[in-house]
Amino acid sequence: MASDTHAAVRASSLRRAAGLIACSAALVSGCSSIVSSATSGLAENLSASILDQEDPELVREAVPAFLLLLDSMVRSSPDNPATLGAAAELYAAYGIAFTDDPERAKVLTRQARDYGRRSLCAADRDACDLDTLPFDAYEATIDAVDVRAAESLYSYSISSLAYIRAHSSDFIALADLPKIEVALIRLLTLGAGGNEASVNMYLGILNTLRPPALGGQPEKGREYFETALGIAGDRDLSIKVEYARGYARLLYERELHDQLLNEVLAAQVEQPGYTLMNSLAQQQARELLDSANDYF
Fold of 1-190: 1.25.40
Would you state the pLDDT for residue 11? 52
**Amino acid, single-letter form, for residue 279:** S
DSSP letter at 22? Answer: H
Per-residue model confidence as pLDDT tens for the chain (296 residues): 445 455 555 555 555 544 444 444 333 333 334 434 443 444 445 555 666 667 777 777 877 887 888 888 889 889 999 889 888 888 888 888 778 899 999 999 999 999 999 999 999 999 998 988 999 999 999 999 999 999 999 999 989 988 988 888 888 888 888 999 999 999 999 987 778 999 999 999 889 988 888 788 999 999 999 999 999 988 999 999 999 999 999 999 999 999 999 999 999 998 887 888 888 889 899 999 999 999 99
CB atoms under 10 Å from CB of 78, counted, come to 11
- Residue 204: its pLDDT value, please? 93
pLDDT attached to residue 225: 97
19-45 per-position pLDDT tens digit: 444 444 333 333 334 434 443 444 445
pLDDT at 199: 93
Residue type, 118: R
The pLDDT tens digits for 137-170 are 999 999 999 999 999 999 999 899 889 888 888 8
**pTM for the predicted model, two decimal places:** 0.81
* Distance, CA of 109 to CA of 123 (rounded, Å): 21
Altogether, the residues listed in the chain come to a count of 296
CA-angle at 226, arms to 281 and 141, nearest 5°: 95
Q: How many CB atoms lie within 10 A of CB 281?
A: 26
Domains of the chain by residue range: 1-190
Q: How many CB atoms lie within 10 A of CB 170?
A: 13
Distance CA 12, CA 201 (A): 10
Q: Which pLDDT score, from 0 to 100, does residue 165 have?
A: 83
Q: What is the predicted pLDDT for the residue at 62?
A: 75
Q: Largest Cα–Cα distance in the chain?
A: 57
Q: What is the pLDDT at residue 70?
A: 81
Q: At what angle do helices 41-51 and 6-28 cross, to 10 degrees?
A: 150
Note the helical H segments in the chain: 6-28, 34-37, 41-51, 56-76, 81-97, 102-123, 135-143, 150-166, 171-174, 177-190, 196-206, 218-232, 238-243, 249-250, 254-266, 275-290, 292-295
